[in-house]
Amino acid sequence: MYLLTVDWILLLEKLILIAIVVMASLLVAMYSTYAERKIAAFMQDRIGPNRAGPFGILQPLADGGKLFFKEEIIPNHSNKILFILGPSLAMLTAMMTCAVVPWSGDINLFGRTIPLQIADVNIGILYVFAVVSLGVYGIMIGGWSSNNKFSLLAALRGASQVISYELAMGLSLIALLMMTGSLSLKTIVEQQMASHWNVLYQPLAFLIFFVCALAECNRTPFDLAEAESELNMGYHQEYSSMKLGFYLFAEYVNMFISSAIMATLFFGGYDIPFFNESAHTDWGNWLAVAGIVCFMIKISIFIFVFMWIRWTVPRFRYDQLMNLGWKKLIPLALANMLVTGAVILWMHK
């Protein structure tokens, strides 16, 4: 009898939403690879892939197809279970983060109000942090189980980098959370829709968060875990075929999700700038659609900036990386937190 009381339609609704969000993130990740190649080319005065389909838009399909047909190699001396677990974990954690991102406002379908968010947990940010820090296990396990000193070195670098930058990231967010007073991403977006975007109040926190997001995604200038020129490919050196594809893909999914998180926390999420949503509730579902479009535009801008930085700066040296993380970003974040706290206290007096 208990099963009858379960809201089965809610379950179905969430399942469909999960499927759509996962497919969408994969699609965005797929076309991020294309965008990356195009942007890299344009910044180097080339024009990039343009043979597969018009403007080369079928290039990601060709790349994926190629990876599928490559030989699967599991090195003899590797730990086979962990070797397979590595890329799976990387992909899994990358995909899991998108569960708490509010993609847009509610839509009404078949007489039901459907929130376009898989789970509005009241500790959304903590969840994101937890899953993102799990992401380093993909790198660690992959690098360690390959039984290759380059991979292991890269994995160690990746792990220490992620741990160092997570601190600064968390500290920069505390300043923001003191203002919002909520950990739920949905609430944070709604607050920003009512007043101004958080980036106006917390520009320094955003800057620190952005730098740390670059480091968390292992993007240049923080790509020490991959470091083609010194560790020849780093932690995924021994990987081939789709296992390699998973690692590469997870990086792009991570980039998409962290852009989404940044847009949500600091740039108003699905808020349409210079437009009062609450005055146009008669638009119904179209308002939600406009919100998604706006959110996607913000995400694409972030992804573009990520790539722009990648094709501008070279990789940091390891000591520079640690210096920046521990001696610069963490004190800055702490100071920012202190000032924010003081200002909040002063305002409430």
Cite the beta strand spans of the chain per DSSP E.
Answer: 104-109, 112-116
- C-alpha 344/C-alpha 349 separation (Å) is 9
> Smallest distance, Å, CB 306 to other proteins?
12
Token duo for residue 194 = 């009512």
Nearer CB in complex with other proteins: 122/312? 312
> Smallest distance, Å, CB 236 to other proteins?
27
> Smallest distance, Å, CB 135 to other proteins?
25
Taking CA atoms, 134 is separated from 89, 130, 142, 250, 262, in Å, by: 8, 6, 13, 13, 19
Contact yes or no for 277/289 (Cβ under 8 A): no
Nearer CB in complex with other proteins: 27/47? 47
> Smallest distance, Å, CB 17 to other proteins?
36
What HEC string does 216-250 produce?
HCCCCCCCCCCCHHHHCCHHHCCCCHHHHHHHHHH
Nearer CB in complex with other proteins: 99/211? 211
Nearer CB in complex with other proteins: 87/221? 221
> Smallest distance, Å, CB 21 to other proteins?
31
- C-alpha 76/C-alpha 69 separation (Å) is 21
Burial 115-124 (b: 16+ CB within 10 A, else e): bbbbeebeeb
Nearer CB in complex with other proteins: 107/214? 214
Nearer CB in complex with other proteins: 56/268? 56
Binding site for other proteins (CB under 8 A): 39, 42-47, 207, 221, 308-309, 311-313, 323-324, 328-329, 332
Q: Please confirm whether the linkage preceding 221 is cis (ω < 30° from 0).
A: yes
- C-alpha 40/C-alpha 19 separation (Å) is 31
CB atoms within 10 A of CB 275: 12
Phi/psi-derived region of residue 77, left when phi > 0, alpha when psi is between -120 and 50, beta in every other case? alpha
> Smallest distance, Å, CB 313 to other proteins?
5
> Smallest distance, Å, CB 42 to other proteins?
5
Nearer CB in complex with other proteins: 101/332? 332
- C-alpha 52/C-alpha 288 separation (Å) is 34
